[in-house]
Structure 1
C-alpha cells in the first residue's frame, strides 16, 4: 500500500454522517478524497472542508442505487488520480414503520441503496484493485446485520445481505492477498440518518440508546484502512444485544419490541413521509446530530424495562416448571392408585 499522503480514497455517502466524517478524517492525512453522494450542494461543502484540512477533493454527485452511475464514479476517480487505493461504502437510507405500513417502493429503494449500492461499488472498484494488486474495500454494515428489531425491515434486510456479501467477497479474493474486504458493524450512531429517515409509525423517531459517536466509527474506518480486519464491531452495549439475540433468542424477542416502543418512538406525533429515501434535499448534512445529549434518561428507561421483562420471563418459566412438576406428581399419584386398584381386583378374581 502506498503512503497515506499518496493514497486515493473514494467515500460514498459523503454528504453527512459516517461518510462525511470519514472523508474529513482521510483529508486531514493529506490524501486525495473522491466524494460521492446525491446532493451536489452538500458535496461541495464537504470538498471545501477536505481541502481546508490539507487533502485534495473531487466531488462526484452519484446515486449509488444506479449501477451505471457507480461505474462512472470509479472511472472518474481513476482518471482524476491515476488509481484507487481505498473505497468506503457509507451510503445508506432508512425507514421506520411496520413492514405492512412501509410502501413497496420505499422498501425497494432502501435495499437498492443500502445493499445493492455497495454491491455495485464492489463490481466497479475490484478491477482497479486487481490492476494495482492491492486495495481495501470497507463496507459500513451494522449490528442490524446480526440482529433485528421492529419497524426497520428493509434496513435489516439490506444489512443482513451485506454481511453475507462481504463474506463471499473475502472468500473469492483469496487469490489476491493484497485486496482486503473489511466490514464495520456499528450499533446506533449519532448521525442525521434518523432525521432523514422515512417514517410510517405516526410518531417521531430517534436512535435506540445508547448512541455511539460517529467519531468512533470513523476511527474504526481509519483502522481498517491501515490494518485491514475482517470485521470491526463498534459499540460494546450493542454487542451484548447481539449476544442475547444469538444465544437467548426468546428473551431477545420478548424484550426488543417494548424497548423500541419506549426508547426509539417519541411521544410527538408525526405524519407519514418518505424522508430522503428518494429526494436528498435536507437541511441537515452534519456528521453528528446531537442525539447523545438525551441518552442518560432513555438508557435508564431501557434498562428498567429490560430488567422488568427479564424478571417476568424468569417468573413465568418458574411457574410453568412448578405446574409441570405438579402435573407430573398428580399423574404419578393417579397411576399408583390405578395400579393398586388393579392388584385388588386381580386378587379378588383369584
Structure 2
C-alpha cells in the first residue's frame, strides 16, 4: 500500500508543546503538513509554532484545555476552518500523571488524570469524527502507552486511564465499520525520555523520581505517529519494553503485576526525599523541552538501571516491602 502524502494535510495535535507532542509536531512539519497545535499555554504554543515553520510546515495554534469538551470542539471547528473544511489527521496526545500511594494522592489529582488522559481523548474523538464522517475518511491517532496492559503501581489513575483508552479505541473501531476510510490507530510507547515524569507529573511519593533512564527518545514515537498517518493500522508498539511487557503480561499477569509493584517499591525506597508537588498537573509548567535528560546523563542512568535490574530481579518476589504505603497501613 502506498504511503499517504502528508503535504498540506491538516493535522491536529494536542499536548503539542513538549515531550512526544513537540517531537510529533516537528516530525509532521518535516513532511510539509498544515499543523494545528493545541496546548494550555500560548507562549509555549508560539515557540513550537515558530519551530515548525522553520522546518517547512504551516502551523497555527489554538490554546486548548482538553478536559473541557467545549474547548476541544472549538479546536476541531477552528482547525477545519483553517483547513478549508477538512481535518485529515487528529493526534490525541495530551497527557498527565500523578505518582504516589493511592490514598496519599489527593482525589482531585486522580480526577485530573482521568479527565485529561481518558475524557480528553474521548472529547477529541467526538470533535474530530463528524468531520471524518462527512469526508468519508480520516485518521485518529491515540497515544496510549504500554500502560494499556501493564499496570503502574503508585499511579492507579494513570493505569485506569490507559486501560480505559484501550477499551475505548476497540469499541470505537468496531462501531465505525461502516466507514472503512476512517482509521483509529493506537500507539503504545515504552518508557520515553520526556519531561513528563521528572518535571511535569504530580509527585506525592515524598521521593525524588529522578530523570528517565531506560527510555526511548520521543523522536522515535513521533516517527511512529507519522508512519500511522501515512499507513494507518490499528496498533503500533514502540520500544522493546512495550513488546516485552505485552508478552509477559499475557503469559503471567499476576507475576508481572507483582514484579512491577515490588520494583516500584524498591525504587522509591532508595530515592532521596522530596516535598510532594502537583507539578504541571493543574497548571502547565514553563518548560517546552522535547527530552527529559541529556545524553550523558541518560547513558549513566542506563548503566545504573541495568545494574539494578540484574541485581534485583532475582530476589524481588521474596524481598519484604521496603516502604509501607498508607494503603497497607490502613488495611494491615
CA distance in 1, matches of 2:271, 2:102: 21
Matched, 1:131 2:134: yes
CA distance in 2, matches of 1:265, 1:199: 15
Report the counterpart of residue 113 of structure 1 in structure 2. Answer: 116
Q: Shift of residue 265 of structure 1? A: 6.8
Written as runs of structure 1 = structure 2, the 5 A alignment for 1:31-110 is: 31-82=33-84, 83-110=86-113
Partner deviation per Cα, 1:140-182 (whole Å, 9 max, x = no partner): 0011110113111111110100011000111011111111000
CA distance in 2, matches of 1:263, 1:99: 17
Q: Shift of residue 281 of structure 1? A: 2.7
> CA contact under 8 A between 1:189 and 1:207: conserved in structure 2?
no
Matched, 1:236 2:240: yes
Distance 1:170 1:253, change over 3 A: closer
CA distance in 2, matches of 1:191, 1:173: 33
The structure with the largest alpha-carbon Rg is 1
Distance 1:170 1:207, change over 3 A: farther
Report the counterpart of residue 13 of structure 1 in structure 2. Answer: 15
Q: Which 10-residue stretch deviates more, 93-102 or 249-258?
A: 249-258
Report the counterpart of residue 261 of structure 1 in structure 2. Answer: 265
Q: Which runs of 5+ in 1 are unaligned?
A: 314-350
Report the counterpart of residue 174 of structure 2 in structure 1. Answer: 171
Partner deviation per Cα, 1:104-129 (whole Å, 9 max, x = no partner): 11110110001100100000000111
Report the counterpart of residue 28 of structure 2 in structure 1. Answer: 26
Partner deviation per Cα, 1:264-284 (whole Å, 9 max, x = no partner): 6762221111111111133x2
Report the counterpart of residue 308 of structure 1 in structure 2. Answer: 315
Report the counterpart of residue 281 of structure 2 in structure 1. Answer: 277
> CA contact under 8 A between 2:200 and 2:285: conserved in structure 1?
no
Report the counterpart of residue 150 of structure 1 in structure 2. Answer: 153
Distance 1:10 1:305, change over 3 A: same
Report the counterpart of residue 221 of structure 1 in structure 2. Answer: 225
> CA contact under 8 A between 1:21 and 1:215: conserved in structure 2?
yes
Q: TM-score scaled by structure 2?
A: 0.89
> CA contact under 8 A between 1:145 and 1:159: conserved in structure 2?
yes
Report the counterpart of residue 4 of structure 1 in structure 2. Answer: 6
> CA contact under 8 A between 1:255 and 1:309: conserved in structure 2?
yes
CA distance in 2, matches of 1:207, 1:118: 27
Return the structure number with greater relative CO, CA threshold 8 A, min gap 6. Answer: 2
Report the counterpart of residue 306 of structure 2 in structure 1. Answer: 299
Q: Which has the higher helix share?
A: 1
CA distance in 1, matches of 2:91, 2:216: 19
> CA contact under 8 A between 2:152 and 2:158: conserved in structure 1?
no
Q: Which runs of 5+ in 2 are unaligned?
A: 320-332
Q: TM-score scaled by structure 1?
A: 0.85
Q: Which 10-residue stretch deviates more, 249-258 or 169-178?
A: 249-258
CA distance in 1, matches of 2:270, 2:28: 36
> CA contact under 8 A between 1:208 and 1:263: conserved in structure 2?
no
Q: Shift of residue 242 of structure 1? A: 2.9
